[in-house]
Structure 1
């Protein structure tokens, strides 16, 4: 005699179905907001009683901390109004044409490899010096 069990959803799926059947429950979000408002009010009262003001910004909370600069995935674009005779500081490097380097193909034993080689004239920036 063989018993075949049919798979069914687990307890989490049952709870999720019941929760979905009840519809959107705003009270959970409201409870969280009320709790945060109470914590802020308590913190403000304690700070005021101590003769201080509650810290609100990162600069107030951690005055010695500095933020990391924004990472740019491309080089900064520079525009020149006219094309001068020679390289201009901030203009395109004449060796790499502003690319910052070039792809080098090397082959050995029937395998072709590519690697990036930075321009030595501009130091890989693509800008004329």
Structure 2
């Protein structure tokens, strides 16, 4: 592949969004749209926002535990803010992803970031995230 580099962390984020919507009963589609459509739209929002602000380590396997915790905490914060924003949109415009409360948002953010780190850890060497 010339000029392009795969980013498994972003794929893990998209997988995590799908897992969070499916696993957490507190996350539900707003506006009467089909759940599959809402999940696709939410995953696209995450893809765009994660592309703008990337909080992924270069190498999950070779990183020291403190650095991994820092990246994990920042990533959970980022994913939680995105979920909170999507909940705000659902409240105001009756579209998007509604949540039952802050605990659901935190659990969703943990699922999303955990799946992103799992995909990064399972990716072949040299396929880590890029910050630029």
Question: TM-score normalized by structure 2?
Answer: 0.23
Which structure carries more strand by proportion?
1
Q: Which has the larger radius of gyration?
A: 1
Which structure carries more helix by proportion?
2
Higher RCO (C-alpha under 8 Å, 6+ residues apart): 2
Question: TM-score normalized by structure 1?
Answer: 0.23
